[in-house]
Amino acid sequence: MKRTRGIFVTLIVLYALTAWLGDGFLGAYNQEKLLERTALFGILGIGVAFVIITGGIDLSIGSVVCLVGCGLPWLMVKHGWSPALALCAARVVSTTIGLIHGLLITKLKLQPFVFTLCVQRSEY
């Protein structure tokens, strides 16, 4: 509990210090962007927490996020896909990668750390 309280106090101090030193930090646009970035890492953190709680670790999450983050605009800009179709494709690709990883780790009893470390570079 002390550790959590310390992290929270540090966050508040940093936020206050940045608001005091930064001219446009408390502006609506900056706060919106701050919440967008925090939400992204919060959602990823929840997914990683489930994996860690079950005793595993997945190192390929960053690679999958990068693949989707680069592939989505590539499909929309270079190939002219509609945003809805590109989002569906990104969801299918990322879900398929996660499903394959999960099945191989659980069915073949592979070590999650080693498997996701090896696969994250070879599949893209």
Which of the residues in the chain have pLDDT under 70? 1, 120-124
Would you list the DSSP string of the chain? -HHHHHHHHHHHHHHHHHHHH-SSTTSHHHHHHHHHHHHHHHHHHHHHHHHHHTT---S-HHHHHHHHHHHHHHHHHTS---HHHHHHHHHHHHHHHHHHHHHHHHHS---HHHHHHHHHHH--
Q: What is the pLDDT of residue 87?
A: 95
Q: What is the pLDDT of residue 78?
A: 95
Domain count, the chain: 2
User: Helix, strand or coil for residue 69?
Assistant: helix
37 shares a domain with 81: no
CA distance 61 to 76: 23
121 shares a domain with 65: yes
Q: Which residues contact 18 (CB under 8 A, 6 or more apart)?
A: 25
Q: What is the pLDDT of residue 121?
A: 64
62 shares a domain with 25: no
One-letter amino acid of 105 = I
Q: What is the pLDDT of residue 32?
A: 92
Domain that holds residue 91: 56-124
Report which of 29, 66, 70 is spatially closest to residue 44, judged by C-alpha positions. 66
Do the domain assignments include residue 38?
yes
Do the domain assignments include residue 85?
yes
Report which of 52, 99, 44 is spatially closest to residue 69, judged by C-alpha positions. 44
